[in-house]
């Protein structure tokens, strides 16, 4: 429950104000986050991993 409250507080106090008051900064954060996770969710890597799991 505490983690949920922490997430809501971060959204209310950090994310939403940045989104509304500083849209350029918000867009920069979103693009950086997308670039950080892209290698993990890249479809070629995922397909290769699944192939190794299904056909050992």
Tokens of 42: 């890249």
Q: Tell me if the pTM is above 0.85.
A: no
Q: Are 27 and 19 in contact (CB under 8 A)?
A: no
**What percentage of the chain exceeds 90 in pLDDT?**
50
Work out the number of other CB atoms within 10 angstroms of the CB of residue 40: 8
For the stretch 31-47, pLDDT in tens is: 999 899 887 777 777 77
User: What is the rounded distance in angstroms from the CA atom of residue 40 to the CA atom of residue 33?
Assistant: 12
CA quadruple 29, 35, 39, 44: dihedral positive or negative?
Answer: positive
């Amino acid at each position: 429950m505490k983690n949920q409250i922490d997430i809501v507080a971060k959204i209310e106090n950090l994310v939403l104000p940045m989104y509304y008051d500083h849209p350029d900064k918000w867009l920069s954060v979103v693009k950086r986050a997308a670039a950080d996770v892209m290698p993990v969710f890249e479809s070629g890597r995922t397909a290769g991993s699944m192939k190794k799991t299904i056909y050992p």
